[in-house]
Amino acid sequence: MGFYLNPGNGSFEEALHSRIYVDKTGLIGRTNELINTKEKYICVSRPRRFGKSMALEMLAAYYSCGCDSKKLFMGTVIEQNDTFPVYLNQYDVIFLNMQQFLIEAEQGKVTEHLEQQVLEEVYETYGEFLKKPVTGLADALRRIYVKAGKKFIFLIDEWDCVVRERQKLEELQQQYLDFLRNLLKDQPYVALAYMTGILPVKKYGQHSALNMFWEYSMIDQNVFEEYTGFTEQEVKELCQRFDMDFAQTSNWYDGYRFRQFQHVYNPRSVVAAMKGRHFSNYWTATETYEALKIYMDMDFDGLRSDIVRMLGGERVRVNTLSFQNDMRTFKTKDDVLTLLIHLGYLGYDADSKEAFIPNKEISGEFENAMSVGGWTEIMRILKASEKLLEDTLRCDAKSVAKGLDQAHTEVASVLTYNDENSLGCAISLAYYSARKDYRLIREFPTGHGYADVVFLPLPFTGKPALVIELKYDKSAVTAIDQIKDRHYTQALEGYTGEILLVGVNYDKGNKSTPHSCVIEKMVYKGSE
């Protein structure tokens, strides 16, 4: 057992013995299907805090020769898989944490340092087959394969750190990519190559050295969806175990969407909330909001407006295909938004090709980034939103209309009121503070159309539901009548209690007081 060659199962055993362990061993069944096939090159990219390293430690424990991991996997999902005994501790594993090599190596000598460290262990195990001098790691592994028939599984963590953290050193990046290509591409000794990082691999300008990899990213995780983060069922079980409110957990950490799994949670934040028994923004523990601010402040036409719309609960369409998969080459706002998807700051719906802010935790990151400059008008709206909600709950329609007038003045620098949709975005933004106690739903389906904005109270808040209907150049009374005529409140499945019906009209011809508002209170007893 070595550090790089067959690292063993110690790290995975620590994970199993941790206070919170969620069984993701089903991933092994997926990788077993790909061993020694044309699909054996796998690059799974995810944001920080999404369990990439833990997945690699689990794979190392399962595949590594020289240790007995059978007991560790007893009672797990993979134990019931037919392939479980076939590959258990049957392969030599080479485990590479590229972050370590980048930190330890002399400037520009990352691959040289890597080869020196790994070859030392390879010689200790297979020195009898390497009597003649070798030209590098790939040469050594080829000789071992020819003479001993040995194949290797490569597990590479933080594969993209050289590209992310040495952005200006293009010569180093090309040297590194050439090294990986020579080590892995078309080599007969490769049984499986599983890389993880934050960014996908297929572009990087003209230097597409790693085009043999099948990519599974936040744009499309495909068969690895279930193992990207915590699923809804896994979070429900954790909430029950730790006596934490599931609705609040969802509000804080849910929001990542894939084709099959529509509710994927940030795993690290969920674990932190369960262990600390407290909902908070745990994202900032591993990354500062300045990283987000850099990209938010990029001067691309329409980027600022798109961010504000998403903060207001809207989705924006994104072309993810032009992104060059690096952190320097940005030609359009779509490139910036695509990077934010890969970094986890935005969720993405692959079917509609739309991006959105996934949850309360990430909304807080955007708010923090806005607060340090350049977004003063939006910050004034957010700060005034507490009073607007209080006025609404007091049914003070006059004050609500006045508050919306003020919000309109602030948001006009970014958004233009030209239809009910843009009006809805601005009003959702004006009610921003409500999200600490409510779940915001834009375009809420009712069976008789769509309610423009609905705020459903989280359990135990004791607050009424809000159904907000918007009109453009009509009247607030018309909005209230539509809520009643189309029975919008009957669509609030599972909700009983007080509901405030809020009708808002924007009169573009009235420059002094363009908004009018009517608020009515009702008690809904369900569909009885």
CA distance 174 to 200: 16
CA distance 296 to 283: 17
The predicted pLDDT at position 528 comes to 46
The predicted pLDDT at position 439 comes to 86
| 91 alpha carbon, distance to own chain's centre | 32
Distances (CA, A) of 6 to 203, 246, 368, 445, 458: 31, 40, 43, 54, 49
Low-confidence ranges of the chain (pLDDT < 50): 528
CB atoms within 10 A of CB 457: 20
The predicted pLDDT at position 180 comes to 94
- What's the burial of 396, exposed, middle or buried (CB within 10 Å: 0-12/13-18/19+)? middle
CA distance 234 to 103: 36
Helix (H) or strand (E) holding 62: helix 52-63
Torsional sign, CA 314, 320, 322, 324 = positive
Distances (CA, A) of 56 to 25, 195, 289, 482: 11, 9, 28, 55
- Rg (the chain; Cα; Å): 27
Reference 409, options 475, 506, 315, 480; nearest CA is 506
Reference 191, options 288, 59, 9; nearest CA is 59
CB atoms within 10 A of CB 44: 26
Indicate the DSSP class of residue 527.
T
CA distance 60 to 57: 5
Reference 31, options 23, 42, 22, 20; nearest CA is 42
The predicted pLDDT at position 472 comes to 86
Indicate the DSSP class of residue 327.
S
The predicted pLDDT at position 446 comes to 63
- Please give the structure tokens belonging to residue 360: 């309360």
Angle formed at CA 187 by CA 107 and CA 144, multiple of 5 degrees: 90
The predicted pLDDT at position 461 comes to 84
